[in-house]
Amino acid sequence: MATATTAQQSRTRAQLRQAVGELLGDLIQITATANGTTTTTIDTLNVGSAEDHFNGRYLMATSGANAGEVKRITATATSTGTLTHGAFSTATAAGDTFDVTNARGRGFRPDEYHAAINELIVEAWPAFAIHVEDGAGTFDADTEDITVDAALAAVYEVEWTDSQGTEHRIRGSNASQRDGWIADPANGKIKIVGSAKLEPDGNTVTLKGYGRQDTLSAEADTCLIPAAWLVPAAALRLATRGLTRDPDRYGPLLGVLQRRVDQHFPLIATTRAPGWKSVRSA
């Protein structure tokens, strides 16, 4: 089983989306102050004091029975603090929390935030990598193969453990030398070949390497890529796309966001051990 180790502080998808929305000035967070219905949410503190209507914005439930559901707001009654929207699965209740985005119809839907964040997560590889250690099981010298856990994208060290619990490093090799461990990225495997395979035979082998950050599909999913880079990078991507919606609003943000992205890019650059090899063809 593969185990990830990193000193980075993680952020959830919800935290990242909210941080990007705040940076773009496209987020209002509200809390229901009274019970509503499936099509109404009441917040007399925020909705009642708003100068502009919430019509056309998107309401994403972040807690309560409807957590994760997104509905479009169709009417605003500031006198009662009531928002009317598409039907949630369950009636809204006092204490439920929501993220409201897409200000004046020129902001972004929650799914657009999620897409931008995931695009940057994918593009962060190979600059950013997570240290992963995989106890790959017992090695069989007859087959020479070790199937690499899906969490690993690259390997820099292969070790075997003897009956006394002592770990021994296996030297790296290449296809021409064929005496040591060789990466087989086309098949997602490591091969131990030549005389180097004799001592590990029948013993536990451990792989040390690097993995990619997975994309985020749920609110509680966590990301280890430093938020100091990821948040402005996602905001920059959305602001660039938003130029056609509101150039006066997003245009001035581009330079500021780009400088923040450039400033914090060194935070995601993972120092690699020498001799690492890819174990995935893509």
Q: CA Rg, the chain, in Å?
A: 25
Residue type, 193: V
3-state secondary structure of 74: strand
- In this prediction the pTM is 0.88
Q: Report the share of the chain in percent with pLDDT over 70.
A: 95
DSSP state at residue 16: H
Task: Give CA separation, 160 vs 138, 198, 201, 208, in Å.
Answer: 9, 11, 9, 11
pLDDT, position 117: 99
Q: Which sequence spans correspond to the domains of the chain? A: 27-101, 130-211
* pLDDT tens-place string over residues 104-141: 778 999 999 999 999 999 999 999 999 999 998 999 99
Helix, strand, coil share (%) of the chain residues, nearest 5: 25, 30, 45
DSSP state at residue 197: G
Element containing residue 156 per DSSP (H, E): strand 154-161
pLDDT by residue for the chain (282 residues), tens only, comes to 566 655 568 999 999 999 999 999 999 999 999 999 999 999 999 897 766 689 999 999 999 999 999 999 999 999 999 999 999 999 999 999 999 999 877 899 999 999 999 999 999 999 999 999 999 899 999 999 999 999 999 999 999 999 999 999 999 987 777 899 999 999 999 999 999 999 999 999 999 999 999 999 999 999 999 999 999 999 999 999 999 999 999 999 999 999 999 999 999 998 889 889 999 986
pLDDT, position 2: 65
